[in-house]
Structure 1
Amino acid sequence: MILVTSELISEIYQPIAIDTHKGTQGHALLIGGSYGKMGSVCLSSKAALKSGCGLVTALIPKCGYDIVQIAIPEAMVITNKEKKSIKKIDFQIKPDAIGIGMGLGHEVATQHALHQFLINNKLPLVIDADALNILSLNKDWISLVPKNSILTPHPKELERLIGPWQNEEEKLEKTMQLSLKTDCVIVVKGAPTLIVDGTTIYKNTTGNPALATAGSGDVLTGIITSLVAQKYSSLHAAILGVYLHGLAADIALPETGYQSFIASDIIGYLGKAFLSLDK
């Protein structure tokens, strides 16, 4: 098991070039949201922007248009024709990275939309939340997930994908088998978070119990998707994204405490996390 330390991060992290502009900083597409769950896409989209992405577009159901446009004026929005949930995944833009699943729901029509998207899409994905749950309900679709995608399950989502385990060793063995089978990186969220790349496991060293709050995973998806859009490899995006996510929480904790920390605080402290890497 390899520890994700500041030394390892210094080998991965790429400072922003002095002559960069929004067209060279990557375009991330975040797909998700449903009635009552639009906050998840807002968190992911803002996290992607605050992680250095030049352009961010949210693909959401029509009910979320005003919410996202008002909450994140820097993001662009594409709306599905359906009002309350996504029933077709269709867009004309050419993103550099796609994150999918946050607040998506798992209505039958939404499941069909994801299935068709997986058939047509060739770009590696960052797959989270309800997109993972839909895959667990339709396990034969897992073979459609593009190679070099990143799966970001919390423990229950992981159990739905690989089945129950008796101990940590069995859990890791099953996760490695899934990573090898799909040729994907798997971010096993927890305390600590692990990044599984085939038979190699990375153990994150940042983060604290304040991260156990609603929306924390949505923020992580936005960060990782942003890093993929900025041309980090899937493995490096996962490692750096998890490290920054935890580091922001560590920097915030003396000011927020555990109880008052919320997911948007991670986004608020990302700047200080990046500055610490630049030092």
Structure 2
Amino acid sequence: MKNHIQIDKTEILKRFKPIEPFTHKGMQGHALIIGGSYGKIGSVCLSAKACLKSGAGLVTAYIPKCGYDIVQISIPEVMVATDDYFEHIISINYDIQPDAIGIGMGIGQHPDTQHAFFNFIKANQLPLVIDADGLNILSQNKDYFELLTSGTILTPHLKELERLIGPWDSEENKIEKVKEFSEKFDVIVVVKGAPTFIIDKENVFENTTGNQGLATAGSGDVLTGIITSLLAQNYNPIDSAILGVYLHGLTADIAVPEIGHHAFIASDIIDNLGKAFLTLE
């Protein structure tokens, strides 16, 4: 099929950039991860740690106050900024200058959070990845689509995708609807599944890595962290999405022979990112 590309190692090596020998953390990009609510701070921890482990020089997590100790203790390398409110995010104000932002993991859909999300995307000009409840807020407020910066990356699983674009009656119909959606709003859509497709207007990229071990809680939070990290390191949006999805899948291919599909969890994706990157060096 025209404009349908298999994402394999050859395609990845065209896009991958090794880290320069004389770089420093200020040159490796500052990523901001926005999310979390009471009982769902783990999603931000997974995302932020994956972000660091994918090469970002600096990572800051923006969370409600209830998550402060959790993030500081569980990932000491990540900086933390908090909302004024305890249980969920009611406004998004930060005094750092990030290079890319990932938003939505565990953020919830409280009306105050939806309002904060609206104000954020209205003002944001930075490269952006939207996942999880960020996508659900978008699907409830479809007029927000017009506010997204060019090249924003959306990472829905199939249920979230259906809320965004409506139902489809075949695999071909699904892909066509996503292409139209991508074209209309100038966004890149990572359709998570087996296999995962990355759709950028007319172009469809089909990932070739990964296995059923990835069907586990937090897997998507990790993917958002990886893609946000690559964006912060100055990869363009489509290369960030393609490389992120490939590496995410590759970690499962590396780990599963040792630990099996049943025991593979989202933290194992993070733990095997180093090995995944080493296959490209």
Structure 2: distance between partners of 1:151 and 1:118: 13
**Partner SS for 1:257:** helix
How far apart in 2 are the matches of 1:24 and 1:184? 27
The aligned counterpart of 1:239 is 242
In percent, how many aligned pairs have the same letter? 64
CA distance in 1, matches of 2:19, 2:127: 23
Is 2:200 the counterpart of 1:201? no
Shift of 1:121: 1.1
Task: Report the 3-state secondary structure (helix = DSSP H, G, I; strand = E; otherwise coil) of the residue aligned with 1:77.
Answer: strand
> How many pairs align?
278
* Shift of residue 32, structure 1, vs aligned partner: 0.1
Say if 2:96 is the partner of 1:93. Answer: yes
Q: Which whole-Å deviations, capped at 9, do the CAs of 1:77-98 have from their partners, x for residues lacking one?
A: 0000000000001111110000
State yes or no: 1:41 paired with 2:44: yes
Matched, 1:10 2:17: no
Deviation at residue 17 of structure 1 after TM alignment: 0.3
Moved more, 141-150 or 200-209: 141-150
Give 1:75's match in structure 2, choosing from 70, 73, 78: 78
Map 1:175-190 onto structure 2 (within 5 A): 175-190=178-193
- 2:105 maps to 1:106: no
Distance in 2 of aligned mates of 1:182 and 1:92: 29
Match of 1:168 in 2: 171
2:149 is aligned with what amino acid?
P
**Residue 126 (structure 2) aligns with:** 123
Cα distance, 1:7 vs structure 2: 0.4
Shift of 1:255: 1.2
Selected match of 1:145 from 130, 148, 168: 148
Letter matched to residue 91 of structure 1: Y
Which sections of structure 2, spanning at least 5 residues, go unmatched? Answer: none
- What is aligned with 1:23? 26
Partner residue of 2:59 out of 56, 59, 62: 56
The 10-residue stretch of structure 1 (112-121 or 95-104) with the greater mean CA deviation from structure 2: 112-121
- What is the Cα deviation at residue 184 of structure 1? 1.1
Maintained 8 Å contact 2:99/2:127: no
CA distance in 1 between partners of 2:140 and 2:206 (Å):
29
Distance 1:124 1:17 in 2: 22
Q: What whole-Å deviation, never above 9, does each CA across 1:176-218 have from its counterpart, x for those lacking one?
A: 1111011111100000000001010000000000000000000
CA contact (8 A) 2:25 2:57 kept: yes
Could you tell me how far apart the structure 1 residues matched to 2:61 and 2:196 are?
A: 27
The 3-state SS of whatever aligns with 2:189 is: strand
Give the aligned partner of residue 225 of structure 1.
228
Counterpart of 2:137 in structure 1 is 134
CA distance in 2, matches of 1:104, 1:266: 22
CA contact (8 A) 2:47 2:221 kept: yes
Name the Cα RMSD after superposition: 0.5
Counterpart AA for 1:224:
I
Per the alignment, residue 262 of structure 2 pairs with: 259
- Say which of 195, 200, 203 aligns to 1:192: 195
In the TM superposition, structure 1's runs of 4+ consecutive aligned residues that sit over 2 Å from their partners are none
Aligned partners of 1:118 and 1:10: how far apart in 2?
Answer: 33
Q: Distance in 2 between matches of 1:109 and 1:224?
A: 27
In 1, Cα distance between equivalents of 2:126 and 2:19: 24
Q: How big is the shift at 1:124?
A: 2.4
Q: CA deviation at 1:257?
A: 0.3
Where in structure 1 are there 5+ consecutive unaligned residues?
none
Amino acid of the structure 1 residue aligned with 2:260 = G
Task: For 1:164 and 1:148, locate their aligned partners in 2 and report how far apart those are by CA, in whole Å.
Answer: 24
